[in-house]
């Protein structure tokens, strides 16, 4: 899917500049700290559906205003592994300290697919950032599915996969934060179609990810490994991606139903502090049946 050129909402006057040829749009003309009209929210929802992830710069929302903005799109939900801020329980702190080596969620993934109702989307706001590095990559899972052969698309459309919160590669990235919060890790597991139909666009998106997908239903982990490894490499090919360079006051808002992301862990020795709000989603549905 090639995304269109700069868009302008006639209702709100906001503008969206594509960040790459396949995913991502940078929004201007919106102040997230001020009251936002309904027509502007409608335009932002349309931009999210078109670009899969939208970005804002130079914003100054308080944690509570960030939640209020997020709630205009869907119901905010608590992150299952960590508590939120006392003054804004739906805001999770995503922090890497100067002495830490692992980045939180530092594997290509869709958020918390181990839940029965994975998130609709996520908002991530930059509070403190390193002087360089710490970018985030995003990958378009419509393109990932559509570029597969017809035979493999047909095969995948009939399969389901198990997602787990306990895969070692990703659970390791949460250890520092869990220790600091005095929280014991919880174990979640869910089955979802490997290809899901987006409930708003109707399009098919590849819905497996390296961080959480454990195995294919009715297959062993050994039997699943070859196909899953192929898909994990395929779904983050460079032509499906964009790269976002953070600055203080920047915000990313992505559609978790059709996009994956990866925080780049290249800023050892520096602090990176983000605020995150997650939006309640629905039960993923297959593309047929």
Please give the Cα distance from 62 to 152 (Å, whole number).
46
Closest among 184, 164, 165, 163 to 175, alpha carbons compared: 184
Confidence at 13, pLDDT banded by 50, 70, 90: confident
What is the per-residue pLDDT for 9? 46
Residue 190 lies in a domain: yes
* Residues 97-112: tens digit of each pLDDT: 999 988 877 899 999 9
Phi, psi of 151 (to 5 degrees): -65, -45
Average pLDDT estimate for 201-227: 97
How confident is the model at residue 104, as a pLDDT?
77
In the chain, the number of structural domains is 1
Residue 1 maps to a domain: no
With a cut of 90, say whether residue 169 has pLDDT above it: no
Is 39 domain-assigned? yes
Would the pLDDT of 7 be above 60? no
Percent helix, strand and coil across the chain, each rounded to 5?
25, 30, 50
- Express each pLDDT in 226-260 by its tens digit: 999 999 999 999 999 999 999 999 999 999 999 99
Judge whether 127 lies within some domain. yes
- The answer to whether residue 111 is catalytic is yes
Would you call 261 a catalytic residue per the annotation?
A: yes
Residue 78 lies in domain? 7-280
Query: Does residue 221 belong to any structural domain of this protein?
Result: yes
Q: What is the CATH number of the domain that holds 107?
A: 3.60.130.10
The pLDDT of residue 12 is above 60: no
- Residue 117 maps to a domain: yes
Q: If pLDDT is split at 50, 70 and 90, which confidence band does 10 have? A: very low
Residue range 198-227: average pLDDT?
A: 98
Across 69-99, b (16+ Cβ under 10 Å) vs e yields: bbeebbebbebebbebeeebebbbbbbbeee
- Residue 223 is assigned to a structural domain of this protein: yes
Smallest CA-to-CA distance from 276 within 128, 109, 66 is with 66
DSSP letters of 19-60? SSSSS-EEEES--TTS---HHHHHHHHHHHHHHSEEEE-S--
Q: Which residue has the higher pLDDT, 49 or 167?
A: 49
The reply to whether 268 falls in a domain is: yes
pLDDT recorded at residue 88: 95
Per-chain mean pLDDT for the chain: 92
Active-site residue, 109 included: yes
Q: For residues 80-101, give the mean pLDDT.
A: 91
Question: What's the predicted TM-score (pTM) here?
Answer: 0.91
State pLDDT tens for residues 38-83: 999 999 999 999 999 999 999 999 999 999 999 999 999 998 878 8
Question: What is the sign, positive or negative, of the torsion defined by CA atoms of 280, 48, 111, 92?
Answer: negative
Query: Given 111, 176, 197, 212, which residue is catalytic?
Result: 111
**Secondary structure (H, E, C), 214-232:** EEECCCCHHHHHHHHHHHH
Catalytic annotation, pick one of 197, 198, 261, 275: 261
- Residue 176 scores a pLDDT above 60: no
pLDDT of residue 83: 87
């Amino acid at each position: 899917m090639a995304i269109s050129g700069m868009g302008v909402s006639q209702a709100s006057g906001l503008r969206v500049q594509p960040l790459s040829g396949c995913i991502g749009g940078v929004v201007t003309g919106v102040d997230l700290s001020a009251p936002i009209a309904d027509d502007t929210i409608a335009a932002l929802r349309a931009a999210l559906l078109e670009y899969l992830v939208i970005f804002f710069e130079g914003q100054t929302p308080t944690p509570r205003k960030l939640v209020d903005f997020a709630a205009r799109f869907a119901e905010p939900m608590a992150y299952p592994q960590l508590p939120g801020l006392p003054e804004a329980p739906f805001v999770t702190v995503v922090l890497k300290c100067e002495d830490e080596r692992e980045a939180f969620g530092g594997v290509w993934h869709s958020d918390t697919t181990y839940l029965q109702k994975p998130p609709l989307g996520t908002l991530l706001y930059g509070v403190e950032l390193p002087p360089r590095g710490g970018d985030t990559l995003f990958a378009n899972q419509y393109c990932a599915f559509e570029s597969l052969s017809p035979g493999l698309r047909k095969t995948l459309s009939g399969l389901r996969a198990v997602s787990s919160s306990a895969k070692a590669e990703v659970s390791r990235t949460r250890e520092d934060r869990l220790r600091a919060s005095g929280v014991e890790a919880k174990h979640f597991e869910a089955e979802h179609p490997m290809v899901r139909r987006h409930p708003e666009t109707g399009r098919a998106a590849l819905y497996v990810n390296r961080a959480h997908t454990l195995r294919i239903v009715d297959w062993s982990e050994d039997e699943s490994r070859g196909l899953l490894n192929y898909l994990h490499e395929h779904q983050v090919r460079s032509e499906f991606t964009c790269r976002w360079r953070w600055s203080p006051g920047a915000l990313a808002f992505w559609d978790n139903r059709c996009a994956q992301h990866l925080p780049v862990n290249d800023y050892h020795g520096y602090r990176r502090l983000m605020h995150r709000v997650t939006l309640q989603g629905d039960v993923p549905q297959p593309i047929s049946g």
